[in-house]
């Protein structure tokens, strides 16, 4: 009998209170071992204060061919950025 | 270079107008410097070549632990031992990052391991040389990791996203490896006459095998041209070898050691050193499996794989049972 350990995606929260960030993946038999492995593989240099692991099979992803319909609509909405608006210098910092 | 002589399936590099529309769109994305991600369309040759290249790179990291692991129990001080342990652990980590990058291309970890053990996939020729003295650990860090960095720094810009991200992480960790090696060499070079001789002997034995790491000249190779147009190879082997020599010679001078090459001279016109090529027949012998340590390395990998099977299977069986128990408990509670 030989069955490969399933794949897990690893997310680490760094020192500075930012979101957990995807750092890579690894194989492990279960969640507990996945966290232990993640600690050895992805935090050897103080990279994190918290680890999440998620079975890769549980991740749903957008498809590359949907890139246009999903993301292009935002291109034309420049008014969503602060730089769209000209505020006279006299007003001061805003 | 940790990946040597990677074949591409190409017999010539296609011009844009000879490509199918999909191939052309792909090539244009690569030319624009866009990253290719695992689910994006890619030519079959690109996928297969990357599996070979990243796989070979990963195998090199893993097999590369063996010559250095040889000295962990005999490191001269507790501090050197802790450093060497950390370095060898890093190599394991680097192998794992790279295996994961290769797996995004549709090959499994077990397949990669089996291809290594059956001899269908290679690892870098350099790891088939023995580490006979403590000075060899210095030479490996200084020269072998130095040569690897030469190749890996440009690969951070490679077109395949997962490979590029693995390289960025590896490069961040790798410079400690080279510096700790140079530190060992410095200590020996400033030590007793016997220690100095030991450092020189390590340089003598590792110099040419390190130059071989970049592979034979590939300026006329169709595989290299194809890989370069796909941006999975950034520089020619000769460019990287030249850079490595130019960087390393002053470092050897600083140590007061002599590069074992009587032809080595500064060439003002090209702004680099002229140097002797390694013995390429030796390189091909080592690749064919006839280097000093090929059999030992493969035996160690095979033993680790076979003797670890009960453990891998045992943990998997335990995980399945625990999951079943949890499901039963949930069911009972409902």
Taking CA–CA distances from A39, the nearest residue in chain B reads B93
B110/A24 Cβ within 8 A: no
pLDDT beneath 70: ranges in chain B: 1
CA B87 – CA B65 distance, rounded (Å): 9
Cβ contacts of A61 on chain B, cutoff 8 Å:
39
CA B298 – CA B285 distance, rounded (Å): 16
Question: Residues B140, B84: contact at Cβ < 8 Å?
Answer: no
Q: pLDDT band at residue A77, thresholds of 50, 70 and 90?
A: very high
Q: Helix B44-63 vs helix B78-103: angle between axes, to the nearest 10 degrees?
A: 160
Cβ contacts of B322 on chain A, cutoff 8 Å:
30
B93/A33 Cβ within 8 A: no
Span A54-75, average pLDDT: 92
Cβ contacts of A71 on chain B, cutoff 8 Å:
none
Q: Which of residues 18-47 of A touch B (CB under 8 A)?
A: 24-27, 29-30, 33, 40-41, 44-45
- The shortest CB-CB distance from B109 to any of A24, A27, A41 is to A27
Give the per-residue pLDDT at B64. 97
B319/A30 Cβ within 8 A: yes
- Tokens coding A17: 């209170």
A29/B93 Cβ within 8 A: no
CA B180 – CA B245 distance, rounded (Å): 19
- The shortest CB-CB distance from B108 to any of A4, A24, A29 is to A4
Question: Residues A37, A67: contact at Cβ < 8 Å?
Answer: no
B108/A3 Cβ within 8 A: no
Give the per-residue pLDDT at A15. 86
Please report the ipTM that was assigned to this predicted complex.
Answer: 0.88
Alpha helices in B132-160 (DSSP H): 134-139, 145-155
Q: B-side interface with A, Cβ within 8 Å? A: 37, 39-41, 86, 89-90, 93, 96-97, 100, 103, 108-110, 165-166, 169, 173, 309, 312-313, 315-316, 318-319, 322-323
B110/A29 Cβ within 8 A: no
A61/B89 Cβ within 8 A: no
Mutate one of B62, B95, B97 to test the A interface: name it (highest A CB count within 10 A). B97
A30/B100 Cβ within 8 A: no
* Of B135, B131, B141, B261, the residue nearest B198 (C-alpha): B135
Span A34-39, average pLDDT: 97
Dump strand ranges (E) for A4-55: 7-13, 21-27, 50-55
Give the per-residue pLDDT at A2. 59
Give the per-residue pLDDT at B220. 83
Strands B265-267 and A50-55: unpaired
Give the per-residue pLDDT at A67. 87
Give the per-residue pLDDT at A1. 45
Give B308 to chain A, closest Cα distance, Å.
11
Total number of residues shown for chain A: 94
Return the SS3 of A25.
strand
Give the per-residue pLDDT at B334. 83
CA B80 – CA B77 distance, rounded (Å): 5
């Amino acid at each position: 009998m030989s069955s490969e350990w399933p794949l897990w995606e690893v997310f680490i929260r760094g020192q500075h209170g930012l979101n957990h960030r995807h750092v890579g993946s690894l194989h492990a038999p279960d969640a507990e071992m996945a966290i232990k492995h993640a600690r050895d593989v992805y935090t050897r240099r103080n990279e994190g204060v918290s680890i999440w692991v998620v079975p890769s099979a549980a991740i749903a992803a957008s498809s590359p061919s949907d890139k246009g319909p999903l993301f292009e609509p935002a291109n034309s909405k420049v008014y969503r950025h602060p730089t769209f608006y000209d505020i006279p210098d006299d007003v001061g910092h805003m | 270079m940790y990946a040597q002589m990677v074949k591409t399936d190409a017999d010539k590099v296609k011009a844009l107008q000879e490509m199918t529309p999909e191939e052309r769109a792909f090539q244009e994305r690569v030319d624009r410097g866009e990253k290719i991600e695992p689910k994006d369309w890619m030519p079959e040759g690109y996928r297969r070549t990357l599996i070979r290249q990243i796989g070979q790179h990963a195998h090199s990291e893993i097999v590369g632990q063996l010559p250095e692991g040889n000295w962990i129990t005999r490191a001269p001080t507790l501090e050197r031992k802790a450093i060497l342990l950390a370095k060898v652990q890093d190599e394991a980590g680097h192998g794992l990052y790279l295996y994961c990058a290769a797996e995004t291309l549709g090959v499994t970890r077990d397949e990669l391991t089996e291809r290594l053990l059956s001899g269908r996939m290679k690892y870098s020729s350099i790891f088939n040389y023995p580490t006979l003295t403590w000075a060899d650990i210095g030479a490996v860090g200084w020269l072998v990791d130095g040569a690897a960095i030469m190749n890996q720094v440009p690969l951070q810009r490679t077109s395949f996203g997962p490979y590029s991200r693995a390289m960025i992480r590896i490069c961040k960790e790798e410079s400690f490896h080279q510096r700790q090696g140079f530190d060992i060499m410095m200590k020996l070079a400033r030590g007793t006459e016997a220690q100095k001789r030991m450092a020189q002997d390590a340089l003598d034995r590792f110099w040419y095998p390190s130059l071989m790491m970049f592979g034979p000249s590939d300026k006329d190779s169709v595989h290299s041209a194809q890989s370069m147009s796909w941006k999975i190879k950034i520089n020619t082997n000769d460019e990287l070898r030249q850079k490595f020599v130019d960087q390393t010679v002053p470092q050897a001078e600083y140590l007061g050691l002599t590069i074992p090459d009587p032809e080595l001279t500064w060439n003002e016109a090209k702004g680099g050193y002229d140097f002797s090529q390694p013995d390429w027949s030796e390189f091909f012998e080592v690749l064919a499996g006839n280097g000093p340590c090929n059999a030992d390395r493969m035996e160690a990998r095979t033993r680790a794989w076979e003797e670890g099977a009960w453990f891998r299977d045992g943990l998997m069986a335990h995980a399945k049972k625990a999951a079943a128990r949890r499901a039963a408990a949930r069911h009972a509670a409902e």
